[in-house]
Amino acid sequence: ADTTAAEGGADTTAAEGGAETTAAAGGGGGEVLSALQESGTVTVGIANEVPYGFEDAEGNVTGEAPEVAKVVLAELGIDNMEASVVEFGALIPGIQADRFDMIAAGMFITPERAEQIIFSDPDYCVSEAFAVAEGNPNGLTDYQSVIDSGANIAVMRGAVEDGYAVDIGVPDDQITRFDDVNAQYDAMAAGRVDAVTGTRLTVETQAEEREGMEATEGFFPVIDDVEQLGCGGFGFTDQGFRDAFNEVLHAKQEDGTVEEIVTGFGFTPEEVQAAADTTVEELLEQLGG
């Protein structure tokens, strides 16, 4: 669920600490929210990645992020959702260019991205894993094991996994970058790479659907002695809209609605609770942002 935003992005930075103004559910939140409430429709950016944000066979927008967003937005008086499907790397440039109103793609919250967009508080956390050939012939357990084994791994171009691999020291000639999730797994099936790295859920989903693949145990990468807690949230460029969304999100986390939705897409209750127990500011501080 993760790609790094294009470099040289917007001047907007995520507000540190609490918002100056919080919009009551269904109430204020500024001109952007008011306009969306008046139209009753929001356009979300998704990257067609299961289970985070995707269009199903009938063309319906679904996934953990759109489904959480639907219940939050309904409380804000916005009942219709449309989707703009783009490559993951085009999500942040897309919202900066006003091609959609918010990002609902399970995007990992990172300090680099928070310099370009305003994140909600997280709605899920999830570990990383590798898709490997059955039996895990290279013994992959984390990124250091990639270095030690000499295995070639597939990553999504600009994804957090790309950054993890580089920061931990995986040589560039052991990294093959792709612009499409499925292309990574097709390359592995064709023998062009030894493994694919991604979030536990994406890897497990792909491994279950493909012959001869299995998923490794989940792990959290460690960079400079800091465990990289992978948590996803929603992306905005408007502070008032984000603040109003956060307020309702918190209420839906407290009443169990978010857990019911997100666990339905394969996340564990612990992964949902880990997100409810942290804020975007706390997460960015932990990650060095």
Question: How would DSSP label each residue in 144-188?
Answer: HHHHHHT--EEEETT-HHHHHHHHHT--GGGEEEESSHHHHHHHH
Find the mean pLDDT for residues 47-75.
95
Does residue 23 register a pLDDT over 70?
no
Residue 53's alpha-carbon distances to 65, 105, 233, in angstroms, are 6, 5, 12
Find the mean pLDDT for residues 61-89.
97
Question: Tens digit of pLDDT for each residue in 197-243?
Answer: 999 988 998 999 999 999 999 898 988 888 788 899 999 999 999 99
What's the angle, vertex CA 86, arms to CA 2 and CA 168, rounded to 5?
A: 20
Fold annotation for 30-125+230-286: D-Maltodextrin-Binding Protein; domain 2 (3.40.190)
Task: Between 87 and 73, name the one with better pLDDT.
Answer: 73
For the chain, what is the mean pLDDT? 89
User: Are the C-beta atoms of 116 and 9 separated by less than 8 Å?
Assistant: yes
pTM score: 0.73
User: Are the C-beta atoms of 156 and 181 separated by less than 8 Å?
Assistant: yes
Does residue 4 register a pLDDT over 60?
no
Assign 289 a pLDDT band (cuts: 50, 70, 90).
low
Identify the pLDDT of residue 1: 54
| Whole-number percent of the chain with pLDDT over 90 | 78
Task: Between 126 and 244, name the one with better pLDDT.
Answer: 244
Task: Between 8 and 263, name the one with better pLDDT.
Answer: 263
Task: Between 27 and 8, name the one with better pLDDT.
Answer: 27
Where do the domains of the chain lie? 30-125+230-286, 128-227
Identify the pLDDT of residue 15: 36
Superfamily in which the 128-227 domain is placed by CATH: Periplasmic binding protein-like II (3.40.190.10)
Does residue 17 register a pLDDT over 60?
no
The region of weakest confidence among 20-29, 65-74, 272-281 is 20-29
For CA atoms 60, 66, 71, 73, the dihedral sign is: negative
Identify the pLDDT of residue 13: 34
User: Are the C-beta atoms of 28 and 21 separated by less than 8 Å?
Assistant: yes
Question: Tens digit of pLDDT for each residue in 131-163?
Answer: 999 999 999 999 999 999 999 999 999 888 999
Q: Decide if 30-125+230-286 and 128-227 have a common fold.
A: yes
